[in-house]
Amino acid sequence: MDTQNQQQPDIVTSQNEPTKKPLDMFKNLKLPQLSSKHKKAIITAVVSVIILLLLLVLLKALLGRRRSQPEVAVLPSPTPTPTGFIRNPSEYALDPQVLAIEENVKKLESDLIMTKLDLSELQPPNLDFGISF
């Protein structure tokens, strides 16, 4: 029963005490003094980590867009099939005048193929006059 009779200390906060802010505990924190070499190394490490995180976020955004685009499904199209040989395409196909024109065109084509266009008389003259400087 003695333990029950013991008095617990009263925790009383007065109304006049200023309330402590959450960052007040860091005011008395003493950090070791760092040389400029160490400061530069720490700053470089922090900046490189931030840049790396930004690059990762950028890559994730770019790659995410490419994957989100739906792929276009290519459906097979039917293969064209020939309808067969047309024996009489028009009423003029067997007309004697049309056949005569067709024969004349074939003659003209063969004459053009046989014509020699390389004539030695049409070559430009030799203009070498032996001029020296």
Q: What is the pTM of this model?
A: 0.29
The conformation of residue 120, written as its DSSP 8-state character, comes to G
CA-based max dimension of the chain: 143
Query: Of all helices (H) and strands (E), which one includes residue 60?
Result: helix 36-68
d(CA 47, CA 99): 88
Domain chopping of the chain, boundaries? 35-67
Q: Tokens 């004697």 label which residue?
A: 96
pLDDT at residue 100, as a whole number: 96
Tokens (6 digits) for 74? 């290519």
pLDDT in tens, 47-106: 999 999 999 999 888 887 655 556 778 888 888 887 777 666 788 888 899 999 999 999
Q: Report which of 41, 60, 62 is spatially closest to residue 52, judged by C-alpha positions.
A: 60
Non-local CB neighbours of 94 within 8 Å, separated by 6+ positions:
88
d(CA 3, CA 104): 135
